Amino acid sequence: MIAKIGRGSNLYGALAYNNVKVEQQNGKILLTNRIIETPDGRYTVSQLAKSFEPYLAANRNTDKHTLHISLNPDPKDDVSDERFIQIAEDYMREMGYGEQPYIVFKHTDISRSHIHIVSVCVDEEGKKISDQFERKKSMNICRDLEQKYGLFPAVGNMDQQKGMMFNPIDYQAGNIKSQIASVIRHLPKYYRFRTLGEYNALLSLFNISAETVEGELHGKMERGLLYFSVNTDGKRLGHSFKASLFGKSSGLPALELYCIQCKETLKNSESKMHIKAVLAGAMQSTDNENDFRNKLIGQGINTVIRRNDTGLMYGITFIDHHSKTVWNGSSLGKEFSSNFFNERWETKIRSEKEIPVVEKLTGADEVEYFSLEKQHYIFDNGQIPDQSEAGLIDALGGLFFFTNGEDQHEQDFAHHMKKRKKKRTR
């Protein structure tokens, strides 16, 4: 059995990804632990999120508080729902999360039987639960569970080991070269992209970046690629590695040839029409970046935005894990370009600044209103409606890449409150 552990900062994204499977009858909830029950046993994303509110409200320092785990037995294992429940309970207890709120989802949209578990890694006091030696601990627990429940062992099974190849780089774990190799050697086998820019957007999901370099070798100008790890802000970590260290398929000539082939195959593909329809729907139902991102996550699409030093967006790329294709926004049309989104979201922010809601509040009402608004934003803003599409492959499965942060309106509101308080003090 293979366990994949992901951490993120958007609980809604993890819950929405799994719950949409349930709503589309491609999954079901097998178990809830310390989750507020509903009369009919059915849940919305908002209802599920409420059970985590005390934990996230108490949290102060842990940014990636959301835990998303998938447990994947060998395809030859015939695991019943009751056995999956036992495996999940044992795994969470041994990992130190037995007393945490968590939900166990079973996905049935593919033939391989597997489960996803969503929880938080901070306790009721807001303290982070230790993740020291987490991956080694998880592997040992999986081996014990294989023996306990008579499952096929994952060790030595190359097909299942490939299931681990799509983990983002963990710089603190070391062995960066091997981690990079496990991603870049396989991505072109699964994903189609037409430019090196789109390839870099895909790599960014795994905390990797590729840089084109030129230099003179034996009197000739040569071009090549360097790979290096980056943090969540895209800042370089450590030194770079020549593409030649990973084989010809990871080098610049091979990738440029692959991009040409993808341009031809994707020219009139249905996947292009599909993602344009999904993007258009998300744009109609959202009016800010965070809601737009989360809406797409629930439909199996990651959004990669590039900004300059001033914070201005100059590029946007969409990665559809359903069709396994990568699309630069402008290539889909002007209405999906970074310029369009800049104007759309900036216009919304400007219009919100003109709303005189703050002037109606005075004294203690200001503090109470802002407190409630902030709490509402964290747990209920941008409720995920019924989705018509889902497709994050299990390797990614929404295990990471959640976004979080206050929207511009809240920041302006807080700033305005502080200014008014200072004036009254004077």
In this prediction, residue 90 carries a pLDDT of 97
Selection from 77, 53, 73 nearest residue 65 by Cα? 53
> In whole angstroms, what separates CA 384 from the centre of its chain?
15
DSSP assignments along 206-227, one per residue: TTEEEEEEEEEETTEEEEEEEE
Hey, CA dihedral for 90, 94, 100, 104, is it positive or negative?
negative
In this prediction, residue 316 carries a pLDDT of 95
Residue with tokens 């070391």: 174
Q: What is the pTM of this model?
A: 0.48
- Indicate the burial class of 349 (C-beta count within 10 angstroms; 0-12, 13-18, 19 or more): middle
Residue type (1 letter), 42: R
> Do residues 338 and 315 lie in contact, with contact meaning Cβ atoms separated by under 8 Å?
yes
Task: Beginning with the edge strand found earlier in the chain, give each strand of the sheet holding 27-33 in spatial order.
Answer: 2-8, 66-72, 114-120, 102-107, 27-33
In this prediction, residue 199 carries a pLDDT of 95
What is the DSSP-derived secondary structure letter of residue 156? T
203 CB contacts (<8 Å, ≥6 apart)?
183, 184, 187, 209, 210
Hey, CA dihedral for 13, 371, 64, 293, is it positive or negative?
positive
Q: Where are the beta strands (DSSP E) in 167-283?
A: 208-217, 220-230, 236-242
In this prediction, residue 153 carries a pLDDT of 79
Mean pLDDT by runs of 10 across the 426 residues of the chain is 89 90 91 94 92 89 90 89 96 96 91 90 91 89 92 55 55 86 86 94 92 76 88 86 90 94 90 91 90 87 89 91 90 92 76 47 36 30 33 36 38 49 50
What is the DSSP-derived secondary structure letter of residue 168? P
> Do residues 242 and 228 lie in contact, with contact meaning Cβ atoms separated by under 8 Å?
no
In this prediction, residue 219 carries a pLDDT of 66
Output the six-digit token pair for 339: 């310029």
Phi-psi region of 247 (alpha: psi -120 to 50; beta: other; left: phi over 0): left
Residue with tokens 């994947």: 72
In this prediction, residue 332 carries a pLDDT of 93
